[in-house]
Amino acid sequence: MLAVTRRQRMLTAVVLLVGSATVVGAVFGIRRLALAGVATLATVAILVLLDVRVRQGGLVRRIRTVERAQKKTAGMSTSRQLIKRISAHERRVLAAVEGARLEALDSHAESVAPNERNALRNRVSELEEQLAEERAENARLDDLQRASYRQSLRQHVRAFRTEDRLKAPGRSAALQLPYKLRNVEFAASHGFAVPEVYQVWSDVSSIDLGTLPEKFVLKSDGGAGSVSVFPLQRLTDGRYRAIGGKGEYTEEDIRQRLRQLGRRARPPFFGEELLISADGGPIPNDVKCYMFYGEVGQILVRNVGEHGNASTIRLKFVDEKGRDFGAVAVGRTHDPSIEVPDALPEMASVAKHLSRAIGLPFCRVDLYQTSRGIVLGEITRAPSGGNERFIKVHDELLGQKWIDGSARLAADLSSGRPVGPLFGTVADLHLYPPSDRPRSPANFARTVVNCSEWCL
Residue 335 lies in domain: 164-191+278-448
Task: Give the separation between CA 305 and CA 311, rounded to whole angstroms.
Answer: 9
Query: Would you call 111 exposed, middle or buried from its count of C-beta atoms within 10 A (0-12, 13-18, 19+)?
Result: middle
Q: Look at residue 428 and tell me if it is in a domain.
A: yes
Task: Give the separation between CA 238 and CA 251, rounded to whole angstroms.
Answer: 8
Per-residue pLDDT band for 106 (boundaries 50, 70, 90) equals: low
Please tell me whether residues 441 and 401 are part of one structural domain.
Answer: yes
The answer to whether the Cα torsion of 354, 358, 362, 367 is positive or negative is: negative
pLDDT for 158: 92
**Is the pLDDT at 95 greater than 70, yes or no?**
no
pLDDT for 352: 98
Cis peptide before 268 (omega within 30 of 0): yes
Please tell me whether residues 221 and 243 are part of one structural domain.
Answer: yes
Domain final residue pick, 272, 296, 316 = 272
pTM: predicted TM-score of the whole model, two decimal places: 0.71
Q: Look at residue 158 and tell me if it is in a domain.
A: no
Domain final residue pick, 216, 250, 272 = 272
**Is the pLDDT at 157 greater than 70, yes or no?**
yes
Please tell me whether residues 253 and 205 are part of one structural domain.
Answer: yes
Query: What is the total count of domains within the chain?
Result: 3
The β-bridge partners of 423 are 448
Please tell me whether residues 123 and 236 are part of one structural domain.
Answer: no
pLDDT for 99: 58
**Is the pLDDT at 169 greater than 50, yes or no?**
yes
Instruction: Give residue-wise pLDDT tens across range 242-266.
Output: 988 788 999 999 999 999 999 999 9
Please tell me whether residues 257 and 286 are part of one structural domain.
Answer: no
Please tell me whether residues 31 and 103 are part of one structural domain.
Answer: yes
Please tell me whether residues 263 and 297 are part of one structural domain.
Answer: no
Q: What is the pLDDT averaged over residues 433-445?
A: 88
Per-residue pLDDT band for 305 (boundaries 50, 70, 90) equals: confident
pLDDT for 423: 96
**Is the pLDDT at 323 greater than 90, yes or no?**
yes
Please tell me whether residues 187 and 207 are part of one structural domain.
Answer: no
Q: Look at residue 155 and tell me if it is in a domain.
A: no
The answer to whether the Cα torsion of 310, 286, 187, 319 is positive or negative is: positive
Helices (H), 239-343: 251-261
Domain final residue pick, 272, 291, 319 = 272
Neighbours of 32 (CB within 10 A): 8
Q: Look at residue 150 and tell me if it is in a domain.
A: no
Q: Look at residue 453 and tell me if it is in a domain.
A: no
pLDDT for 232: 95
Q: Look at residue 266 and tell me if it is in a domain.
A: yes
Q: Which CATH number is 176's domain given?
A: 3.30.470.20
Per-residue pLDDT band for 98 (boundaries 50, 70, 90) equals: low
